[in-house]
Chains A and B, each alone.
Chain A
Amino acid sequence: MNYNKRKKVNQASAFWLFRIMSLIVVVILGCILGFIIINGFQAISWDFLTKIPEDGMTKGGIMPAILGTLYLTLGSMIFAFPIGVLSGIYLNEYGGKGWIVRLIRTMTNNLGAIPSIVFGLFGMSLFVNTLGFGDSILAGSLTLGLLVLPIVIRTTEEALKQIDDSYRIGSLALGATKLQTITKVVLPMAFPNIITGLILSIGRVSGETAPIMFTAVAYFLPKLPSSIFDQVMALPYHLYVISTSGTDIDASKTMAYGTAFVLVAIVLILNICANLLRRYFGNKVKTN
């Protein structure tokens, strides 16, 4: 076999290997999604979404868990969005290139790399025990907020980075102050990207289990929470509990499939929203 032919055969075999391996990955991932969606869809009904669990989690619905996840996600966002966005603005617009910004950036990256269970430990130690919030929506929201903070910061920073410097210089040249430049020029332009990033981070928060295990959630609650100092049920923890340690694991399997489906559906819907927004704003910016 001469050199040229070998070259061709090598390339063809390598490329086919990559194609096949990619196909395998896509098929596996498709199977996971399909499995959850097909099995879960059968469990979904109006009752399932609006009733409380009955008979040791084998019947009824998951309404308290949906509500709990909603509260926790909302709480964490109230905490993380303002601080995260402001922090991102600081890093990109005010920080310059000094050692302080480098340090903050390293710290933010490190915070983003900390495993979620460590946040759980920290949240339990600080919010639940030291500050005395107890197992509550407040403690869980704050813990989740800490977890998502680095993601919000990075998203904001990336979005701001994409705005061309000529806009800032133009605004400043017209006599606007730095604050005016940021609020009137830079932020409106970066807004779509920031929003899409934030929507994706909501998905991340709503599926986290480890940080809320010891700070907010309960196995089962007979009534809905009435204040931010109450415990809640949450979807991811509910799925964990009924699939591993429920009273009757086989009987609650349908419930588990349904819960998994709802979790996947939340992420799916948020992803679609983010993509639609991206497309919508993308077109708008172009035509302007």
Chain B
Amino acid sequence: MNGIMMKTKRQKNRISTDGSSWSFRTGAVITVVMMALIIAGFFWTPYDPDAMKGSEKFLSPTFLHIMGTDNFGRDILSRVLRGAGTTFIIAVVTIVCGALAGTIIGAVTSYIGGVTDEVIMRINDMIASFPSVLLAMVLISLLGTGKYKIMAALVIVFIPSYARVMRSEFLKYKNMDYVCSAKLMGAGPARIVTRHIFPLCVPALLSSLTIGFNNAVIAEAGMSYLGLGVQPPDASLGRMLAEGQAYITSSPWCVLGPGIFMILMILGAGLLGDGIGDRMGGH
């Protein structure tokens, strides 16, 4: 029996150390490379992403066009870099605004408690239980399509998940002894929440930010794929996939380039988030 216990303990240690540093390292490497590519894409792309060339339609990947060219003879790599930039900005704005609003809602409701808390969290749960893409679609039908509209719609969709995470984090620390003593020393609610409780919630926030980033990338790509998100002339990975799908039989590189780029973006952030989450659990 002792042997079993020792075995499980040893295995547990192996997982939490090896596993987390593996995913953290791999995630960090992928994320840094993708970020570098995306940031570089804002300033420089191998070709003009919108330049059409009738003579160079549907070229398969070569050294000149690493991801090939599309139905208008545009260089796919250049478009992928530009499109990933758009997707990246939308995702970052979405999670930052969503997390900010969610944190404020979570902090206020958990601190006030009572009926306000109950009502707001009920509304929150209702929104959260609704399919996120569907909610975004309904909001888009109200707001209209476009880059900024999709940001607004996604922020609304993403707030509840952050509000829920942050509320439960705040509740965890709200009645701790050190918070009581801070109150006794005369600290007001604002100071307690921002200075004494919030710093402890940061790890949980970071971990849910990486998950949120992935969900935002997938949601934006999905909406743009359906034609409800980013509109031409803005490039977006989702739009490129929708346009390339028509030529999937003859020129599969039209969808493979943008698709694989998007998978790497999501994979990097996902592994990084796992690594952060595992390290956090170790404390």
A and B together in one complex: no
Q: A: which residues have CB within 8 A of B? A: none
